[in-house]
Amino acid sequence: MGSRTLTPTRLSASAAGEIERLLALSASPYEPEPPRRSRIVELLMAFDVRRGRSSLSPHQSGGQDVAKVAWEMEHAPEFWEAVAGFVRLVDFDGKDVLDVGCGWGGKAMYLAQTTRLARIRGFDLPGVFDPAVPNEIARERGLDRCSFTTGYAEEIPAADASVDLVLMDDVMEHVRDPEHVVREVARVLRAGGLVVARFPSIRMLRAHHFDRALHLPGLHYLMPMKTWAAGFNHYLLHNDRGVRFDPFPEVVTSWSGRRLTRDLNGLDLTRAREIVERSGLRLRALALVPFPRSKFSKTAVFRLYTALRAVPPLREPLSRTIVLVARRESDGARE
């Protein structure tokens, strides 16, 4: 992680100009993948535009910061939908909570309103997240137990053994080194404290994170990520349909050894289990959570989905998310 720089390469003037245009359009801290035309991308995007693109969150469509906070508050109940059965409201009673990678703070404010936590602090990437916006909204709403700052999950801005509950919502798949991040979580937790995380496995059909451009599952199973990222970035610069989205980062060899966009690390269920076990935290739950019935328009489709997901090799790809809950038992978890 860090500030964005343009890597010096032997690019033609036109290619360098396209990279500069992508940088100007991007809110990401990462350099974009150099654009390259893809007929498949153009065909799929043309189809997507004709059928009417699904609505995007303000994070994906360049919305205002205030709109991002409001969107997150509205969708915060989805967090409970995913972790139901693993965490209870009473687990927040009187707790100091830390929201690692808090987005724009909407979920933290929702939790401050709906639980009896003592305090919740959230942080996200400097240069991307402006904590002044959610801090002001929290003040306006009288949420004095809620505050925000900036920081990195690899260097959590909290003292040793200073929090009771750590939340990570769609964060673990993005960090550069998830094993180091889990050790950082163990460091800041008090004895008996919990970490609650949900995140997609790279094996899941919607884990490619290309949704802000194309709402189709399994793209990373069909073509290399580099082909998609380059094709989408080319389409962004050259389409005449007014389609806009944040450019995709360059594709590199990730922590997992997979070739992925730089904002993904390739974490899956097996590796998640391994890194928690090595961290010294005691694993309480590590589960593949399915899509709920409400996501399916027809009962027959939901039944087919349930039947397919019962096939062991398809269970992880067809799941919605992973939920991880782990406990720090003693000071040994900090070693």
Residues 195 and 224 in one domain: no
Residues 283 and 194 in one domain: yes
Residues 195 and 292 in one domain: yes
Q: Residue 163: name the closest of 109, 120, 125 by CA.
A: 120
Report the alpha-carbon distance of residue 78 to residue 207 in Å, rounded: 17
Give the domain extent around 139.
Answer: 65-200+269-315+320-334
DSSP label of 166:
E
Structure-model confidence comparison of residues 302 and 14, the more confident one:
302
Q: Long-range contacts made by residues 4-12, C-beta under 8 angstroms, separation at least 24?
A: 4/28, 4/29, 4/30, 4/31, 5/31, 6/31, 7/31
Question: What total of structural domains would you count in the chain?
Answer: 2
pLDDT for 4: 47
Residues 150 and 186 in one domain: yes
Residues 250 and 278 in one domain: no
Q: Work out the percent of the chain whose per-residue pLDDT is above 70.
A: 92
What are the tens digits of pLDDT across the range 119-159? Answer: 999 999 998 899 999 999 999 999 999 999 999 999 999 99
pLDDT for 54: 55
Pairing of strands 259-261, 251-253: antiparallel
DSSP of 125-165, one letter per residue? -TTT--THHHHHHHHHTT-TTEEEEE-BTTB-SS-TT-EEE
Q: Is the pLDDT of residue 56 over 60?
A: yes
- Choose the weakest-confidence range: 13-17, 187-191, 210-214, 308-312: 13-17
Domain assignment present for 1:
no
Both structure tokens of 295:
């996501």
At which of 261, 278, 306 does a domain end? 261
Report the alpha-carbon distance of residue 201 to residue 183 in Å, rounded: 20
Residues 301 and 217 in one domain: no
- Choose the weakest-confidence range: 7-11, 85-89, 238-242, 294-298: 7-11
Domain assignment present for 32:
yes
Residues 194 and 92 in one domain: yes
Residues 57 and 155 in one domain: no
What are the tens digits of pLDDT across the range 208-264? Answer: 999 989 989 999 999 999 999 999 999 999 999 888 899 999 999 999 999 999 999
Please report, for residues 29, 259, 263, the alpha-carbon distance to residue 252 in angstroms, rounded to integers and kept in the order given: 15, 5, 10
Cβ distance 196 to 164 under 8 Å?
Answer: no
Residues 181 and 169 in one domain: yes
